[in-house]
Amino acid sequence: MPENDRCALCGHDLTDDERTAGSHYCAECAIEAAERNLPPDVETPASSDATDIDPARRSKRLRIVLAVALLVFGLAVVFALPRFAALASIDRPLREGVLDTDAQTDACIESLWALAAQAQETGKIDTAVTCPSSSAAYVTSGSPEDMVISCPNPDTHGLDALSIAVQDGVPRAER
């Protein structure tokens, strides 16, 4: 008997139908191979996984993902920047330098700060706000761009002058 008349796995004789079909396996071995998902007559080509992606496509996808991540990070930084700036800003000290002031002078300085902030926003000041020690309205001088707001009676605070320049918002006390 020629070699192709016997099953390649078990060695049993092949039937006429199996020989005519060109099979090298008997019916039992073919069923076993099918159950193991091994095609009996077909050589398995190098299998390619569905997850294998062309390196060029993988590189392009990676660049897109990185660009989106960078964009999201950038937007987060831009939207968080005002909060970071607010945290970094330092409140203005009530006193700075060697000048010692009393509570009435401190209240007058606070009023000057409030009026300067109002003038920066609206260009005007509330004339109803008065100096806490003299109850007189604050005096303004200069143009709206260079406005200076002064205490009407700095001598009640023991000073020669007490003013604030709206542009820089720093109160000035002189003796």
Extract the tokens encoding 139: 């005096």
138-162: pLDDT as tens digits = 999 988 778 999 999 999 988 889 9
**pLDDT, averaged across the chain:** 81
- The strand pairing partners of 150, in sequence order, are 139, 163
Q: Helix, strand, coil shares of the chain as percentages rounded to 5?
A: 45, 10, 45
Predicted confidence (pLDDT) at residue 163 exceeds the cutoff of 50? yes
Question: For 122-134, what is the mean pLDDT?
Answer: 87
Contacts from 139-146 at CB under 8 Å and sequence distance 24+? Answer: 144/119
Place of tokens 């998902």: 37
User: Can you spell out the DSSP letters for 68-92?
Assistant: HHHHHHHHHHHHHHHHHHHHH--PP
pLDDT of amino acid 51: 55
Residue 131: pLDDT band (50, 70, 90) is very high
Q: Would you state the pLDDT for residue 148?
A: 93
Strands (E), the chain: 139-141, 148-150, 161-165, 171-174
Residue 47 pLDDT grade (very low, low, confident, very high; cuts 50, 70, 90): very low
Question: Is residue 26 helix, strand or coil?
Answer: coil
**pLDDT number for residue 93:** 52
CA distance 168 to 63: 48
Could you tell me the pTM of the whole model? 0.44
pLDDT at 68: 96
> What pLDDT band is residue 44 in, cutting at 50, 70 and 90?
very low
pLDDT at residue 13 above 90? no
Non-local (6+) Cβ contacts of 38 within 8 A are: 44
Question: Residue 45: pLDDT band by 50, 70, 90 thresholds?
Answer: very low
For CA atoms 58, 63, 68, 74, the dihedral sign is positive
Asked if residue 17 has pLDDT above 50, the reply is yes
Collapse the DSSP code of 158 into the 3-class scheme (helix H, G, I; strand E, B; otherwise coil) and give the result: coil
Whole-number pLDDT of residue 134: 87
